[in-house]
Amino acid sequence: MSGKALVTERAHLLYQQLVHWPDSYHLIEALEDENDAYGELKDTAKRIERRNQTPRNGSAPVANAPKRGPEVGKGERPRVEGTVKGNPIPGKRKPQGNDVRAKGPLCFKCKETGHFAQDCSRTTEKHSGVPPRSSLSARLAGKACRVAEVQRWAARSGGIAECPLFGEKMSTELEVFGRRWKGLLDTGSEISILPPKILLQAKHDGYDIDSDVPEFPIDES
């Protein structure tokens, strides 16, 4: 896991622990930091914690403080509830902590609420999606072109020298798709390897190799 991915994962785990806070909507902006989401999230959490502790400390009663009544000639001022500074912008409402909890956790990968990053379907489709495969004949045609290029290169460079470490090959004749081919015997193999040129020749002879040749998935476990 890269350093940036590790920082992002740590930020996601920290957000899961703080999502129940009443002011957790402030943490959403910190998660969008692309450089250091974990550090920004931690600093934001500290600021929220200090801000929540300040009213509690300031509202503690002072010992032996004399009670002051209303001054003579001045009535008690009625309480007016509202915003302290500025007027609310019509049509816009700042999300509250209860709204964030109602929508669920925030996924820091797709920036949508309702699920965590580890359960993000977009990430799963991106990494686990199997790319579409072309037909067998199309794949063999591409490999045949690369083999032809290698053979032309070998002819220009003077051919490929045979390795003297190998002994005499044991071969036999096989009939595949109506043609006889020379096959190499290998007693240690559990499978038979069919060169692509045999299938291409069968296709040239009129065989439908896409339907006549079954393909099986390779077990990579």
- Which pLDDT belongs to residue 205? 92
Give me the residue spans of the domains in the chain. 3-53, 168-213
Structure tokens at 4: 């940036």
Q: Express each pLDDT in 124-169 by its tens digit.
A: 444 445 556 677 777 777 766 676 676 777 777 665 555 556 667 7
How far is the first Cα of the chain from the last one, in angstroms, to the nearest whole number?
22
Contact 110, 126 (CB under 8 A): no
Q: How large is the average pLDDT for residues 25-48?
A: 76
Cα torsion 60, 61, 62, 66 to 10°: value is: 150
pLDDT at 80 over 60: no
C-alpha 17/C-alpha 161 separation (Å) is 66
Structure tokens at 190: 């559990």
What is the DSSP secondary structure assignment for residue 117, as one 8-state letter?
A: G
What is the gyration radius of the CA atoms in the chain, in angstroms? 37
User: What's the pTM?
Assistant: 0.29
C-alpha 45/C-alpha 106 separation (Å) is 16
